Structure 1
Amino acid sequence: MKAAILDGIKNRLEIRETELPEVNPNSSLVNVKYCALNHRDLWIYKGQYAGLKFPIILGSDISGVYENAEVLINPSLNWGGSELFQGPLYSILGLPANGGLAEFVSVPHQNIIDKPKHLKMEQAAALPLAGLTAYRALFSRAKVTSTDKIFISGIGGGVALFALQFAVAIGAEVYVSSSDDSKIEKAIQLGAKAGFNYSNETWHKEFLKTHSGVDVVIDGAGGQGFSQLIKICNPGARIALYGATRGTWSDIVVQQVFWKQLNILGSTMGSEQDFKEMVQLVSSHSIQPVVDRIFALHEINEALQYMEAGKQFGKIVIAVNE
């Protein structure tokens, strides 16, 4: 089969023929049609991810065909027996197991899910990892309801956009932030009430001048500026933290956390049940994933460069085998 293969840190991915993936009694081959990129793929490429091994076929977000049916793949492997946290054997498709930047992928039977009927295949590929992460952060961890006022940081990335779309779908009031005013405008078109440019270090003061505090924060950045999110929280608010793209916290005033009785909730990917519920939410509300751009498989290196530039609004999708 044809695949995009990474042989080492920062090596260009090569398109070449390789053997079909092995299957066992608990797994099946899926014919990959589209595979969306995540920052995880970029971090692996740059050597900034744990458990590196080479050669590797990247790609966690897959739509394809299995037994003549159009399907999605749940990229959470071996979640474990608890809905509260992943078990010791947990991994994500695309490392250590080969992923979807290939004509075929081998996955456990239970990870193959029917594609929502209203989605095109390229839209469906945009859904799995980011949609699952957003769903768990919102609903399994932060327990969001329609009466909550929600703030989502870093709008434009896949998880943040799905968090916006899911929260709007249930009727919640949503605010967003970005360093790019054009992304804020696009988010407002998707249902956000307003947005704030975090390049302005006093954006949180502007927020509080015109709005009361928020009940929930969904954040994937961490790092410097996290303290501003704490300042816009109502007492008893929940902060679901699903990533740390800006690094570790450096400016938190701890007293504000305990005095406000805030709940800081770690959230990673999601369980099999989370994935099924996420797909059901997307289907029942006819949610349309935002696809920024589609690249051909032979353009995979250009696609990674485009992701690193950070200009996308929505998911970057690779047409593997149209």
Structure 2
Amino acid sequence: MAGICASAQNVCTIDAKAWLTEKGAADPTALTAIDANSVIVDNEDVTVSTGAADQYKAVDIAFNGYNKVRFGADKDVDCSDLGLQGNSNPKGAGGEDPAKNFVQPGTGAYYVVKAKKDGYFYAVLKASSNKAYTVFEEGKCLSYTLAMNIADDADKNADPITNGVLTYTLPADEEGFYDQSNGTILWPIQIYHNNNAEATSAGNGLGVIMFKVYADCNYVFNAVGSKASFKGFCYSENPVDVSIVAEDGSTLKLLSGGSTDITEINTDKNDVDAPAYNIAGQRVNKNAKGIVIINGKKYVNK
């Protein structure tokens, strides 16, 4: 795997061009057939592989003037080079839409994470506000947190995201899986604007998808109706701060390790019986210690 993963402790930048060249690509920017279960990275924390057989190529990953994703104070995934992208939209083995049917992909371009330790996995990717995303744990649709950059002037017709950050956590049931009573997993821009299915796209940006992982479990993450452009990841035992870094060295925070500006998927319910979630999007008791989110509002229980 030499030359493919530049690792600083638990942060890994994937060299898509080197990996595709190793797999036989004459031109890494052109589509190359890649077998199912082809290992991309194997380290002490996780093994990351392709899912089904598909064609892959190296594509631009940096957007809006930002070219790094930083974890903690100084651990960077360098996005100035190209990321890895497949060719076919992921679907269930029977052609199901993962975001509508909650069926784990079996065909197309998706990524598989085999966890070796309990912790948190942050996938670094070019995120799109108008493509849904899904994560699965052992075939069950999982809650996750997505945070991405949006250029302030990306879409003048969209309700503006003035701080340049779109962030939300999918609601979870008591076991941390996606609460399917909320229906189809919508686009990020629609979720951000309170399940408004008419919300228009606000564009692309660097982002992360964060989800809890457990040792010896398999996880799948993917874009829906598109192909996730994957550049690297962070594994951490605990949540960490996540920022993106611009070419001039300035930073923009996407997520905080101890708290977050999460926008919950809202429902029409706004009463005392509403479910409570922690900052990882997992269902908790309303009296749980720490930050609890109820009806989209944060409360601190001491």
The reply to whether TM is greater than 0.5 is: no
- Structure 2 length-normalised TM: 0.28
Of the two, which has the highest radius of gyration?
Answer: 1
Could you state the TM-score of these two structures normalised by the residue count of structure 1?
A: 0.27
Structure with the higher fraction of residues in helix conformation: 1
